[in-house]
Structures are given as structure tokens and as C-alpha cells.
Amino acid sequence: MSKHIAFNPYLPSYEYLPDGEPHVFGDRVYIFGSHDAYNGFIFCPLDYICYSAPVDDLGNWRYEGVIYPRTADPLNRDGKMCLYAPDVTKGPDGRYYLYYCLDKVPVMSVAVADTPAGPYEFYGYIHDQEGRRLGEREGDEPQFDPAVLTEGDITYMYSGFCGRGDRSRTGSRVVILKSDMLTMRTEPKTVLPGSEYSSGTEFEGHAFFEASSIRKVNGKYYLAYSSELMHELCYAISDQPMDGFHYAGVLVSNTDLHIDSYKPAKMSMCFGANNHGGIENIGGKWYIFYHRHTNGTWYSRQGCAEELTLLEDGTFPQVEMTSCGLNGGPLPGIGEYPAYLACNLFTKKHSIYLDEENAIKIMQDGRDGDEEIGYIGNMKDGATAGFKYFDCKGVSRFSVTTRGYAGGTIEVRTAWDGDVLATLSIPFSNVWETETVDLKLEDGVYAFYLTYCGGGTAMLKSFTLA
């Protein structure tokens, strides 16, 4: 168990760090990702930041500050381009190398630092032995979403983006870099097929889209990626890093599609959109890091994580989204919990993809950068927020704190389709108000599903177990 209670999202509710790549350096795990804005209108408009935590205390995250400003790249001195998803590796010289792409140029940039959390300084662009930049040569595919793995004096760098209908993009591609971390030793080679090249292969239906992420697990190479369905992170396994990858399954979906343990496999339990993340062994356990969407848009994403189980055959079964991801077990079934910890958000339709107009959503007051605690908004009739899991002992009372021009009720269940265990009438109010009801539960581990019934639109700040 974590020394501090760990939640999903694992960073503060006002932090929007998607595309999270976790890496353990020394006794800390560092999260490198892109940087969204609350109420943003584009992906990744802000400077790179970093958070880290002790490997034995995954509820204790430290803000490392801005590690690389978007204007540091010579191609972006005016800051008009966005910094897309990065990755970091420790080079053979002991320094740390940050690989990234800007949103309007096809090349791969590199920055370097003496410590994992930087600050990083611009270093150069990936190029061939003639000095020509990768992505600009005739026949090159544009660089996108790097994944890097260093072994000895060579580094494997994966990259790629494959939209449907575009046969000029083949899939996830790999090159080997020299020890200078910039010069290509090999030409790019496609190792995972995009949707235009997956027909008849084991990747069909889950073809590569973007978000390459490479790790080595018990001597084998695991390449995670976002599939053509976007909401799921899949993975492939090979005995070698340059070819031979076989499709292995889905690690996580930010809709919980395919999971059939607590609901039908084809039922979505959250509004999904794109996804990006990576696996990492932290303190002897494997985790998958991914992101969710907030504010009813694609552009305000937050990092989440779940513990994986490595089976004897080397595969990881898909994990469900929870509110307690890095905690090492259920959350204590007592006290007040903020509503932004919801891992399930759905309406009567159970839509797979984000419906911006009607989506129940995580929100916050204020503007981006304001340290305002998140809450759930746009709760219309039939909207449900789900929270998992809580180890309850002696629970006898249940409270909700709400506001909004609503005036309906909130029904409490311990399964999405379970019996109503309690009903709370909530006031028509423009300030936060708390209502309490008796709720008798036998001791055990529970999920909680809160459904709004009535007219208007409600907001949910928190619920309390007592």
C-alpha cells in the first residue's frame, strides 16, 4: 500500500498532464507528458512540466516545475507551435534525453539534462549520417509521439501516426540511434501496422494509430500504443526490438470497453476519446499510465494509472478504470471524497465517444492554473458518476454535497444496475449544500454509483461515508 492515499487522477485535480510516460530513475518515478490547459481549445499548448514520487509512496507526488519551455526549440522561438507527447531515456553518458515533436513540423527534436527533472536544454534534431533531418527527406514519414529505449550505447526510437485512409503512413517505425543520441545508425523500419496495412493481420481491428511506448519486460520487448479505436491502449510483444512483434491485447480503455467483470463487455462506462501512456515497473509492480478527458472536450486531459497483473505467459490482462489506481488496494471506506475521483461517467445512452453537448463532465471553477478543486458538472436526468473501490466497515450514513438549479434526487447504488440503496433530495441552490441519509452496508469492498434524477442540471462536489 502507498504511504499516502493515492487516487485517480494521481495528480492534483487542477493539473492537466496527459500522454504520461512513467520512468523510474533511482528511487523515484517521474512522469513526463504533454501539457493541456483547463478549458483548452487545442492539444498540448503549454510548456513541459514534470511530477515525481517515491517508488514506495505513489500518493505523494512532487511538482518539479517547468522542465522545458516550448520556446526553447530553435524552430519555435515565437512559441506558436505546441509541444506534443514526449519521452525520456538515460543515455550511455549518464545524462537524460528528452525526445519530442512540435505540432507543425515533421522532425524529431531532442533536449538534454543532467537530472531527470531537468531543466532540459535544446540539443538537436534526429538526422542521418549525412546530416539530413529525419522526417524531411524524400520518402520519410513525419515524426510523431516518440518512444525511446537505451541499451548499452544504442538507443531504439519508435515514432508514428496513422490516420485512417492515409496510405502514406505505415505504422509505428523504429530507428537505432548512435551513442550521440541524435545520429541514425539504421533507416526507419515499420514494426506495427497502421489501419491501412493491417487487413488480414493479427492487428486488424486494433491497428496502430499513435502513442508508441516501449519497455523491456523479462527479456522481451513490449510496445504499447493507441489503436485505431483511440480510446484503448494495446500492446505487442517481441523477442527483439526491431521486428517480430505480435499483437497481445488491450491494456486499458478510457471507456472500459471490453471489460465484462462488472458490466457487459460492449458497454461504455465513460465518454472516451484519444489515449496515450506507458507501462512501468514501480516497486516490483507493473502499472499502466493513461489519460482521461475532462470538461466535456478532448483538450483538457488528466493522467490516471492502474495496477497490472503479469501472467505466467507474459501477458497483461486488460484492467478496469478505478478511483484508487496507484493505492495498492481499495480506498478507506470512511470520510469525504471529492467527486473528481469518478472513474465512470455516463448517461442513459452509454456513449463510447465524447458527446460534448450532453456529457456529464469533470469541471473546475476559475481558469487554467487556478488551484480549484474539481467537481462533476452537467448532471442531467439519468447521468451517473461511478467511484471504485472502497473498503467499508461500519458505514451507516451517506452524504452528498451539491449545487445547481436542479432540485431533483440522487440515487445511490453499489452497482451500475443495482438496487437503489438510498435516495437523497438535493436542494435548488447556487451554493454548495450537503444532504445526508441513512445507508446501512455490510462490511466489504464496494463501488458507489450516484445517479441524478430530475430536471435542470446538478453539480456534485463530493460524497461522504460515515
Dig out the grid coordinates for 16 from the structure. Answer: 492537466
Mean pLDDT of 16-40: 98
Which listed residue (19, 36, 87, 306) is catalytic? Answer: 19
Active site residue 210: yes
Q: How far is CA 438 from CA 142, 237, 399, 441, 466, in A?
A: 59, 51, 9, 10, 10
Rounded Cα distance between 213 and 191, Å, is 13
Convert the pLDDT of each residue in 225-247 to its tens digit. 999 999 999 999 999 999 999 99
Full set of structural domains in the chain with CATH: 21-307 (2.115.10.20), 332-465 (2.60.120.260)
Task: Give me the residues paired with residue 413 across strands.
Answer: 449
Angle (CA) 285 336 396, round 5°? 105
The residue with cell 505540432 is 103
On the question of pLDDT at 2 being above 80, the answer is no
Convert the pLDDT of each residue in 183-229 to its tens digit. 999 999 999 999 999 999 999 999 999 999 999 999 999 999 999 99
- pLDDT value of residue 359: 84
- pLDDT value of residue 417: 97
Which listed residue (21, 145, 196, 210) is catalytic? Answer: 210
200 contacts: CB under 8 Å, gap ≥ 6 = none
Rounded Cα distance between 326 and 362, Å, is 20
Residue 379, phi-psi category: left (phi > 0), alpha (psi -120 to 50), beta (remainder): beta
Q: How confident is the model at residue 355 (pLDDT cuts 50, 70, 90)?
A: confident
On the question of pLDDT at 343 being above 70, the answer is yes
Convert the pLDDT of each residue in 255-300 to its tens digit. 999 999 999 999 999 999 999 999 999 999 999 999 999 999 999 9
Percent of the chain residues topping a pLDDT of 70 = 100
Active site residue 368: no
Q: How confident is the model at residue 356 (pLDDT cuts 50, 70, 90)?
A: low
Q: How confident is the model at residue 113 (pLDDT cuts 50, 70, 90)?
A: very high
The residue with cell 530553435 is 74
- pLDDT value of residue 5: 97
- pLDDT value of residue 407: 87
- pLDDT value of residue 347: 95
**Mean of per-residue pLDDT scores for the chain:** 97
Rounded Cα distance between 365 and 403, Å, is 13
